Structure 1
Amino acid sequence: MTGAVIGEIHTGLVQHSGPVPQRWLSGLPRSGAAGVVTQRFAEVFGGGSPATVRSLITAGGRLAQGSVLRPAGAREQTPGGPFPTDVELARLAARALDLAQARSPGDRRPPTRAARSRVRWVLLPGAGDDVLTCGGGADGGTITLVTAGEQAELIPFFEYAALHHWLLTTVRAAWDRADAGLVDRRRVVARLAPLADQLLCRWEPGGLAEPALARWRHLDRMAGLTVQWTACAALIRDQIALAALGWSPIDGALGEASRGRPAGSWRA
Structure 2
Amino acid sequence: MNRPGLEADAVLACGEVRTCLLPARDALGEREAVRLLRMRPDERVRVSRHPNRLVVSPDVLTGVDCRLPTDTGARVRAVGTVSAHALLVEGRVLQCAASFSLAAAGADRRHPWGYYLVRPGLLVPVGRLPERSVARGFLLGHRPGQLDVGSIAEGVLAQVARQGAVLDHDPPLTAAVTHLRWTAVRAVDEEPFSVFTKGEDGLRMVELRLPPDVPLTEAGALCVDLALHDWLLTTVADKLDGLRTHPADDRAVLRVLLPLVDHLMHLWMPRARIAPVLRTTWDALEETPGYSRQWNALAQRVRDQLSLHAIQLLGKVPSGP
Shorter-chain TM-score range: 0.7 to 0.9
Query: Does 2:209 align with 1:148?
Result: yes
Residue 257 (structure 1) aligns with: 317
Return the alpha-carbon distance in structure 2 between the equivalents of residues 55 and 180 of structure 1: 41
Q: Unpaired runs of 5+ in structure 1?
A: 248-253, 260-268
CA RMSD of aligned residues (A): 3.0
The structure whose Rg is larger is 2
Who is 1:18 aligned against?
Answer: 26
Query: What is the identity, as a one-letter code, of the residue corresponding to 1:219?
Result: L
Structure 2 runs not aligned, ≥5 long: 1-6, 36-44, 67-77, 103-124
User: TM-score under structure 2 normalisation?
Assistant: 0.69
**Partner Cα separation in structure 2 for residue 131 and residue 68 of structure 1:** 23
- Bigger shift: residues 234-243 or 129-138: 129-138
Q: Which residue of 1 aligns with 2:229?
A: 164
CA shift in 2, pair 1:51/1:142, >3 Å: farther
Aligned letter for 1:49?
V
Mapped to 2, the partners of 1:125 and 1:169 lie a distance apart of 30
The answer for the alignment partner of 2:132 in structure 1 is 77
- Which one of 9, 16, 35 corresponds to residue 17 of structure 2? 9
Describe the shift of the 1:257–1:55 C-alpha distance in structure 2 as closer, same or farther (beyond 3 A). farther
- Alignment partners' CA distance in 1, 2:318 and 2:278: 51
Match among 298, 302, 309 for residue 232 of structure 1: 298
Please show how residues 7-156 of structure 1 align to structure 2 within 5 Å. 7-25=15-33, 28-30=45-47, 35-47=54-66, 48-71=78-101, 74=129, 77-78=132-133, 81=136, 83-86=139-142, 88-103=148-163, 105-126=166-187, 130-139=192-201, 141-149=202-210, 150-156=215-221
Aligned sequence identity (%): 24
- How many Å apart are 1:221 and its aligned residue? 1.6
C-alpha separation in 2, matches of 1:236 and 1:195: 9
Cα distance between partner residues in 2 of 1:142 and 1:258 = 52
* C-alpha contact 2:222 2:278 (8 A) present in aligned 1: yes
Number of equivalenced pairs: 253
Matched-pair contact (CA < 8 Å) for 1:55–1:97: no
1:54, 1:66 within 8 Å by CA — same for their partners in 2? yes
What are the Cα deviations for residues 21-49 of structure 1, in whole angstroms up to 9, with x where unaligned? 12234673147989322242122334243
**Matches of 2:163 and 2:155, distance apart in 1:** 12
Q: TM-score, normalised by structure 1?
A: 0.82
Match of 2:70 in 1: none
Q: Match of 2:299, SS? A: helix
| CA distance in 1 between partners of 2:234 and 2:262 (Å) | 17
Q: Which amino acid aligns with 1:174?
A: K
